[in-house]
Structure 1
Amino acid sequence: MAKIRVKSNTGNLYFDFQYCKNRCREYTSLPDTKANRKKLEMIMERIQAEITLGAFQYGKYFPNSPMVQKLAEIEARQRPGYRETPLFKDFAKEWFSEMEPTWRKSTAETYWRYLKSRLIPHFGKMEVSQITKSDILKYRSNVAKQSDGKLKPKTINKFIKCLNMIMNEAADRFNFTPPHLNIKPLKEEKVHIDPFSIQEVNLILASVRPDWRDYLLVRFFTGMRTGEIDGLKWENVDFERREILVRETFSMGRWEYTKNDGSQREIEMSTLVFNCLKDRYKNRNKESDLVFYANNGSPVHTPNFLRRVWTPLLAYLKIKYRKPYQTRHTAATLWLAAGENPNWIAKQMGHSTTTMLFSVYARYVPNLTRKDGSAMERLLASNIDGFHGQGKKEDTEDTTITVSDEVDLNQAEAEESAFWDQFLNPGNPSHFGGTL
């Protein structure tokens, strides 16, 4: 029987009633007074009437009650055709164990972190088939609000992507419609690259200590990722074909497969890189199969490199700080500056198509390749009467990336070698770098 009772330790009133064969207690902050008791009794009468008529909605009266979710599950089980499905926490762990062998170690660690700290604490006690689109949207909204801007939309989208993969598999196994369909990801901030200019590259290579110069030179002129160059072995440097074979990476203290299949590639060595590695091979440490290594013979330790070489070097040269990954973007923009074929550049970078090349480096393409509308200007000048003298566009000096007249990355091999000889013999006594 429904009653309004008093909680002994607080003296506040609470509802006590039966619904769906469950005893429900909902507490209030109202003290036990005649007026408050009368008010709650009137509400209790309405609740009883709606229960009798089958129109009662628990969440309407007690929206923050944990009973809302519990009763929703009970009501779902009473629907025709209901099929019991596992709890999210159990299915998620099973899914993870099945998928783990297909991922890189770092990928598996990332997904497990999302499950353990984000998804299981929220969805863990819900059956997978009972998770709704509304549940996912509310979760995403709460994460965004609770982070107070500290989590970027890209990061939150990664949580939801992990959840979506789990729900897709659950829907396939237990034959229900995935709840995340038609949920658009949060709008992410556009990533802007910040490559080094050729003058900055020259200054860095001329100033860094000699034992780190080769490492940076190869990074600047091959577009290799950090893990790829740190994991480069001599067996994957083909001097005969003048190629660097990207086959594995060293990241977070372990050897792994490359980022994806497309990252397995052959990078053509320019004369500058070829000569650099050829000289390094002659003077190599024969006890190590690594091209670049720390003083103890182990692969380059990125945190040490950042702390003791990269960061102080840029500060010393008064060059704007960028992460070492910008050396990869620098290589791409210099290739574009030289007018190299976009398909060739994409292959060098490990991209399957040129789509990313033009989306990421779009603003470096027009001026640097001199295809900024001047071709149309010439066509109009040749074929349209009265065109001359009416605002004809003049070629302007490129200011996006300044490449000096002497630096023509598209010139003949002999000229290229002669010019880049300044890098191989900088003649600058002010070298900078730390010991690892």
Structure 2
Amino acid sequence: MYQGVRCREYTAMTDTVANRKRVAKLLERVEAEIRVGVFDYAKTFPNSRNAQRFAQPDAVVSQESGPEASADQPTMREFSDTWFAENAPLWKSSYQTKVTDILSKHVVPQFGDRKVGDIQKSEILQYRAELAKVNRDTGKALSASRINQILNVTKQILEEAADRFDFNTPFQGIKPMRIGRSQVDPFSLEEVQRFLDAAPPEWRGYFLVRFFTGMRTSEIDGLKWDCVDFDRREILVQSARVQGEETTTKTDGSTRTIQMSDVVYRALMEEREAMRQRPETHRSRYVFSTRYGYPIAYRNVNNRVWYPTLKKAGLKRRNPYQTRHTAATLWLAAGESPEWIARQMGHSNTKMLFTVYSRYVPNLTRQDGSAIDQLLRMRLQGGTVDSSREVEHEG
């Protein structure tokens, strides 16, 4: 920053550790000269286009917003269209939809007709406060997470505009709203059994796999048969279905291999056999599909199966994501290794595991996934998980 202006200068040096150190030393010298008032821009950066702007040592370059400063700048509406078009090819279609929704419902209605350089920090803070208020029509307020998403899109647009049109972004010093920890309300093993007993027979396998693998909704809805290895007893998670479209997993770390427990293995074997019994035109490449072979829609499953089954089983209302939390807490209760659990969940390390599930962590000693099989055999004999056919077969 020099005379209230953010300046960027580039070198022709190769990006190496040594050269970064040289540039860092230069930056320290420049900042020191600015502090004591002896910095000469043209002398330090003689070939810079900024040198002419600071030709007079005592001149102050104004960055105040106004008609002259912003005359050649686009409006927020115009620049947001440019920004979206340039970045959309880098995003998943689901994220494109999310950003489009934020722009159309929030950013453009609020700032669309303003020049990008005219928007002030005070306006951003005021807008954040407005977003946090209870909506009179709905009686609800936006969550802190949603507000952060809206402001983050606004921030990205204005920071890019500030870089291109040489003004200070109004987001300097604005921190995101604090988001509380995710609500973890897993099922106990007895509750899992009650849910599976109450679930429609054609959906028991689906929910059993969810409860005992920790797969996200998008992951299990996008699971295809070629990613189920019965010989190795592994599930390869490498794709997902989001808003009716096939896409990649949430993060690179989410691509992983999940080991099947005995109950998951048997459930998937039954699903495969049930799929083979369908007419050929109703078979699907997806492990779980409608009776006609179409990919399932999670909203329909939630509203027509998940919540009614909770009610039928006499269980309190929870969102379906709790199946993922349930898998993690059951593995912890069984004494599985945190590193093993993190790999099954698709976490890059155990930090999130201990942060989110700290109160469910016992003395952990196991490391191979066998402890959960032992726990399930002890607790679920004769129930939904161990079908009567399997019990009879075992004598």
CA contact (8 A) 1:311 1:321 kept: yes
Which protein has the bigger strand share? 1
Corresponding residue of 2:116: 128
Corresponding residue of 1:84: 72
Distance in 2 separating the partners of 1:426 and 1:327: 21
Shift of 1:354: 1.9
Change (3 A) 1:279 1:296: closer
Change (3 A) 1:240 1:171: farther
Partner residue of 1:73 out of 63, 66, 73: 66
Q: What is the root-mean-square deviation in Å for CA atoms of aligned residues?
A: 2.6
1:329 aligns with 2:298: no
5 Å matches for 1:256-405?
256-285=247-276, 287-365=283-361, 368-369=362-363
Partner residue of 1:220 out of 189, 211, 218: 211
Moved more, 345-354 or 328-337: 345-354
Distance in 1 separating the partners of 2:238 and 2:363: 32
Shift of 1:332: 0.6
1:187 aligns with 2:178: yes
Shift of 1:291: 0.9
Distance in 1 separating the partners of 2:197 and 2:317: 17
Distance in 2 separating the partners of 1:132 and 1:411: 58
Shift of 1:93: 0.7
CA contact (8 A) 2:331 2:372 kept: no
Shift of 1:231: 1.2
CA contact (8 A) 2:237 2:255 kept: yes
1:385-406 deviation per Cα after TM superposition (whole angstroms, max 9, x unaligned): xxxxxxxxxxxxxxxxxxxxxx
TM-score (normalised: structure 2): 0.73
Tell me the SS of whatever aligns to 2:340: helix
Unaligned runs of 5+ in 2: 1-63, 390-395
Corresponding residue of 1:96: 84
Partner residue of 1:208 out of 199, 204, 207: 199
Tell me the SS of whatever aligns to 1:294: coil
1:46-101 deviation per Cα after TM superposition (whole angstroms, max 9, x unaligned): xxxxxxxxxxxxxxxxxxxxxxxxx9522x53xxxx78322211111111111112
Distance in 2 separating the partners of 1:108 and 1:306: 24
1:280-335 deviation per Cα after TM superposition (whole angstroms, max 9, x unaligned): 32342363211111112111222332233222211111111111111011001111
Distance in 2 separating the partners of 1:247 and 1:354: 21
Q: Residue type matched to 2:252 in 1?
A: D
Moved more, 253-262 or 322-331: 253-262
1:249 aligns with 2:240: yes
Number of equivalenced pairs: 314
Q: Residue type matched to 1:109 in 2?
A: T
Q: Residue type matched to 1:159 in 2?
A: I
Distance in 2 separating the partners of 1:301 and 1:412: 30
CA contact (8 A) 1:339 1:410 kept: no
1:157 aligns with 2:151: no
Identity %: 43
Moved more, 165-174 or 266-275: 165-174
Tell me the SS of whatever aligns to 1:245: strand
Distance in 1 separating the partners of 2:257 and 2:153: 32
CA contact (8 A) 2:227 2:235 kept: yes
TM-score (normalised: structure 1): 0.66
Unaligned runs of 5+ in 1: 1-70, 372-408, 429-436
CA contact (8 A) 2:196 2:204 kept: yes
Change (3 A) 1:268 1:125: same
Q: Residue type matched to 1:153 in 2?
A: A
Corresponding residue of 2:55: none
Distance in 2 separating the partners of 1:351 and 1:217: 22
Shift of 1:197: 0.5
1:138 aligns with 2:138: no
1:154-192 deviation per Cα after TM superposition (whole angstroms, max 9, x unaligned): 211111011111122222323333221211122333322
Partner residue of 1:235 out of 226, 241, 249: 226
1:343-388 deviation per Cα after TM superposition (whole angstroms, max 9, x unaligned): 22122111222222222112212xx3379xxxxxxxxxxxxxxxxx
1:247-292 deviation per Cα after TM superposition (whole angstroms, max 9, x unaligned): 2112322222221222111111112212221233234236321111
5 Å matches for 1:1-20?
none
Distance in 1 separating the partners of 2:167 and 2:236: 46
Q: Residue type matched to 1:274 in 2?
A: Y
